[in-house]
Amino acid sequence: MQISPSILTCDYAKMGEELKFVERSGVDMVHLDVMDGVFVPNFSFGPPVIKRLRPVTDLPFDVHLMMQYPDRLIDPFIDAGADIVNFHIESDAPIADTIAHIKSRGKKAALTVKPKTPVEDVFPYLDELALVLVMTVEPGFGGQHFMADMLPKVEALVKERERRGLDFVIEIDGGVNRDTAKACADAGCDVVVVGSAFFNDADAADLTRFVQSL
């Protein structure tokens, strides 16, 4: 399984060094949590910050847009360095057009589902997606408890992917740590986002190797 640490809970006074630390830990990509204060009751950072972080590492930037109107800022996020553009199916964006626009820019399009949203809601778009992100917490904050009852969504995605011969990646986000990572792998998840557990771990490189061994 791959690991995509979220820098939401990093030390914002030294984001560049934190990103270097993430890279040295041997991770597969970096998860950048963008929050607009409307779609979720929290606010984080936007294209200017991502632009400054881009030259720090070559790791893919997995940008998670927790925004009401993500379609309005797709280009600035791509120009800033986003490689995977994840937006919520519950947002006000025109889903198919937004996916098409991300792909027209040569980037990977991904849809994210909140806990209360049936995973079947993304099925009509699977042919066009590079990745589906299953939230295992209510979006808005790091450090929340893992919702294991979301795992059947991953199993349903694996089955649908096989049935239709597709190759999108399945990612889980929220409350993943040393104790919950194996259940994600067993359900068929390809990538896990790890936020607070990564930055709080005594040995992030060991945690990374553990996740990658699953």
What are the catalytic residues?
Answer: 33, 173
- 65 makes contact, choosing from ligand DX5, Zn ion, none, with CB < 5 to 8 Å by partner type, with none
Return d(Cα 183, Cα 39) in angstroms, integer.
29
Instruction: State the Cα–Cα distance between residues 105 and 185, nearest whole angstrom.
Output: 31
22-51: contacts with ligand DX5 (CB under 6 A)? 31, 33
Residue type, 106: G
What's the min distance (Å) between Cβ of 122 and Zn ion?
A: 16
Nearest distance, CB of residue 163 and ligand DX5, angstroms: 28
Q: How far is the CB of 69 from ligand DX5 (least distance, A)?
A: 17
What 8-state DSSP symbol labels residue 79?
H
Token pair for 121: 């809601």
119 binds ligand DX5 (CB under 6 A): no
* Of 59, 13, 54, nearest in space to 208 by CA: 59
> For residues 101 and 97, what is the distance between their CA atoms, to the nearest angstrom?
6
Stretch that binds Zn ion, among 12-20, 51-59, 60-68, 157-165 (CB under 5 A): 60-68
List of E strands, 98-138? 108-113, 131-135
111 binds ligand DX5 (CB under 6 A): no
In the complex, which residues of this chain contact ligand DX5 (CB under 6 A)?
6, 8, 31, 33, 64, 66, 137, 139-144, 173-176, 193-197
